Chain A
Amino acid sequence: MRGPQDYGGMPAGPVDPEKHEHVPTHWEKTVDAMMMLLFDQRRRLARVDESRRMQEALGDDYHKYPYYERWLQAISWLMLEKGVYSQEELEAKKAEVRARLEAGSHGS
């Protein structure tokens, strides 16, 4: 049973060091920062190992997620699993954020 993350030795394409590179965006750094905060020694709200378990649970979808979107999804599932917020709270918040983004406001 090979997990989707277990890439070692699998067939894959060439590496293009120039094309496969970009300066991390502010959005990516924000996700990175949230991960750091949740995993840090003081909060210990989650372990990086738990986040990896969640990413691996994506199965075939693992390959489709851009890197930081995968981490973000894992964090959100972990927070739900740990009861930090509920599914209802998340859905309500997403609706609020969606309405805000679609209205083009930048209230966050």
Chain B
Amino acid sequence: MSETHDHSHDHDHPTHTHDGKPIQEDPLPSLEAQILEASVRELLIEKGVISSDDVRRAIDQVESRTPALGAKIVARAWDDPAFKETLMSDSDEALMAFGIDMRPTELCVVENTDDVHNMVVCTLCSCYPRPVLGIPPAWYKRRDYRSRAVREPRAILREFGTDIPEQKQVRVHDSNADLRYLVLPQRPDGTEGWDQEKLARLVTRDAMIGVSDVLEPADIDD
């Protein structure tokens, strides 16, 4: 089917032309998708599989998961060496302190150092540490990032404005199975004596995916 023709009657919202050029993603669902969503939801409710209360509560849960959780975890790991050790060796145990349950997956924390920069992708779908970061960003789920992050990670990093020196290893993690990855960025200089709450403000979602650095101390207000 040619994507240059108008197929407005069905669910075609092509995100790419055939030569791989991206078209901006439209977050508004087609009428057909709206109809299908309402139909599936109402049938599941009529069949007693789920209730509308269940759906409301689940949406609340989706909304409660944000990168602020991940930032708190990173800030605590920066500030508390014993916590960091647990986080790296037994993340389930460390996450219990935050009331976070990753099951049936496991969180794998990968640490940036002077020698290694970590970056996360899921080439096969969109695996992402949702309990600590929430819904993945749209670019993470798109063909462009999923295709190129494994083959030309440094080019992707540059598109995010992140330049990694040649002598530093870039280590890509393809999140393809039962682990979910969280990058533990390096604590910036000039943050000595900061409390965890202030440290957490430096930690962006993109830094925990590994496509950006954390903010600089000068970037945040006191």
A touching B, CB within 8 angstroms: yes
Interfacial residues, chain A to chain B (CB-CB below 8 A): 5-17, 19-22, 24-34, 36-38, 41, 43, 45, 52, 55, 63-69, 72-73, 75-76, 79, 84-85, 89-90, 93-94, 96-98, 101, 108
Look across to chain B and name the residue whose beta carbon is closest to the beta carbon of A86: B43
In the bound complex, residues from chain B placing their C-beta under 8 Å from that of A108 are 38, 41-42
Q: Would you give the shortest CB distance from B35 to chain A, in whole angstroms?
A: 5
A31 and B37 contacting across the interface, CB-CB below 8 Å? yes
Q: Closest approach, in angstroms, between the C-beta of A93 and any C-beta of chain B?
A: 4
- Contact among A13, A21, A22, A73 for B144, CB-based, below 8 A: A13
Q: Contact: B135 with A25, CB < 8 Å? A: no
Q: Is B31 an interface residue (CB 8 A)?
A: yes
Residues of the A chain whose Cβ atoms lie less than 8 Å from the Cβ of B159? 14-17
Encode contact with A along B126-146: 1 for CB under 8 Å, 0 otherwise.
Answer: 100000000101110111111
Contacting residues, chain B, for A15 (C-beta < 8 A): 139, 142, 144-145, 148, 156, 159-160
CA distance A34 to B156 in the complex (A): 33
CA–CA, A68 to B34, complex, Å? 11
What residues of chain A lie closer than 8 Å to B59, measured between beta carbons?
Answer: 26, 29-30, 32-33
Q: Which residue in chain A gives the minimum CB-CB distance to B151?
A: A9
For residue B40, which residues in chain A have a CB less than 8 angstroms away from its CB?
A: 34, 72, 75-76, 79, 90
Tell yes or no: B100 within 8 A of A by CB: no
By the criterion CB–CB under 8 Å, are B29 and A27 in contact? yes
B10: min CB distance to chain A, Å: 9
Q: Are A7 and B123 in contact (CB under 8 A)?
A: yes
Interface size on B (CB < 8 Å)?
Answer: 66
Of the candidates B14, B37, B54, B135, the one having the most CB atoms from chain A within 10 angstroms of its own CB is B37
Output the nearest chain B residue to A17 by Cβ-Cβ distance.
Answer: B160
| Chain B residues with CB below 8 A from A85, complex form | 43-44, 47
* Residues of chain A within 8 A of B44, CB atoms compared: 34, 38, 79, 84-85
Please indicate the chain B residues that have their CB under 8 angstroms from the CB of A98 in the complex: 35
B36 within 8 A of A: yes
In the complex, 23 of the A-B residue pairs with CB atoms within 8 angstroms, ordered by the A residue number, are A7-B146, A8-B146, A8-B174, A12-B16, A12-B143, A12-B144, A13-B144, A14-B159, A15-B160, A16-B159, A17-B159, A20-B139, A25-B28, A28-B27, A30-B37, A32-B58, A32-B135, A33-B61, A37-B50, A66-B13, A69-B11, A69-B29, A72-B33
**Nearest 8 Cβ contacts at the A-B interface:** A33-B58, A8-B123, A12-B147, A20-B139, A7-B146, A93-B39, A7-B147, A12-B144
Residue-by-residue, is B34-69 near A (CB-CB < 8 Å gives 1, otherwise 0)?
111111111110010110001100110111000000
State whether A90 touches B43 (Cβ < 8 A).
yes
* Chain A nearest CB, measured from B144 CB (Å): 4
